[in-house]
Chain A
Amino acid sequence: GAGVSQTPSNKVTEKGKYVELRCDPISGHTALYWYRQSLGQGPEFLIYFQGTGAADDSGLPNDRFFAVRPEGSVSTLKIQRTERGDSAVYLCASSLSSVGEQFFGPGTRLTVL
């Protein structure tokens, strides 16, 4: 597709469960970012990939959160033992380079019951 896509668009899970959120960046974009947007707030940085490696994971809130990008394209954000406070919209963005404009996907709305 032409833009960044994210699946699923909505995910409802129960406290304590494991979830995976997927991001398909724009083809050819080497940089990929994950952000989290809570209600009434702006997006908050989680992790940044340059190619296959996580160049900066300083925004991950704790060790329940993990992300991978094994082939330098698709990325998966993984959340273990979900908590109600993890409920948010998880946004993915990609850019042609680390300093290029970031293009955002529509997000995955995660609800933890």
Chain B
Amino acid sequence: DQQVKQNSPSLSVQEGRISILNCDYTNSMFDYFLWYKKYPAEGPTFLISISSIKDKNEDGRFTVFLNKSAKHLSLHIVPSQPGDSAVYFCAARSSGSARQLTFGSGTQLTVLP
């Protein structure tokens, strides 16, 4: 069963507008969440993270929101730029003995000029 789900495989947004990428999780032991960005033929690169003790974290154009009761997080990119076009992965981790990340299946974001 998928513990981290990204239900939208793709999203297209006009340059300058807001991009909203969504992610749901089922494992209540997850307490740290991350977003990674991936370009073709490259490994994922870390974008932004949030701890479960917070409900929002902001870094420049990128903001992550966490709704623990709904087990839902979202990544907002504003304003979107063509260089943001990539696959975005949501990932989660628990503070227990497991250190590995559990990833969603990704959302391909295309920002149209």
Binding site for B on A (CB under 8 A): 4, 31, 33, 35, 40-45, 48, 55-56, 59, 91, 93, 98-99, 101-107
| Residues in B lying within 8 Å of A, measured CB to CB | 4, 6, 9, 36, 41-46, 49, 89, 91, 97-106
Task: Using A91-B43, A103-B46 as known contacts, say yes or no to A43 and B103 having CB atoms under 8 A apart.
Answer: yes
Q: Which residues of chain A have C-beta atoms less than 8 A from B43's C-beta? A: 4, 91, 93, 104-107
A45 touches B46 (CB 8 A): no
Given A42-B89, A104-B45, A106-B41, CB of A55 within 8 Å of CB of B105: no
Q: Looking at the complex, which one of B9, B89, B98 makes contact with A56 (CB distance below 8 Å)?
A: B98
**Which A residues lie within 8 Å of B100 (CB)?**
33, 35, 45, 48, 56, 59
Question: Contacts of B102 on A, CB cut-off 8 Å?
Answer: 45
Q: Which residues of A contact B105 (CB under 8 A)?
A: 40-42
- A91 and B103 alpha carbons, distance in the complex (Å): 13
A35-B100, A40-B9, A41-B105 known, 17 other contacts, Cβ within 8 Å? A31-B99, A40-B105, A42-B103, A42-B105, A42-B106, A43-B44, A43-B89, A43-B103, A45-B102, A48-B100, A56-B99, A59-B100, A91-B44, A99-B99, A102-B101, A106-B43, A107-B43
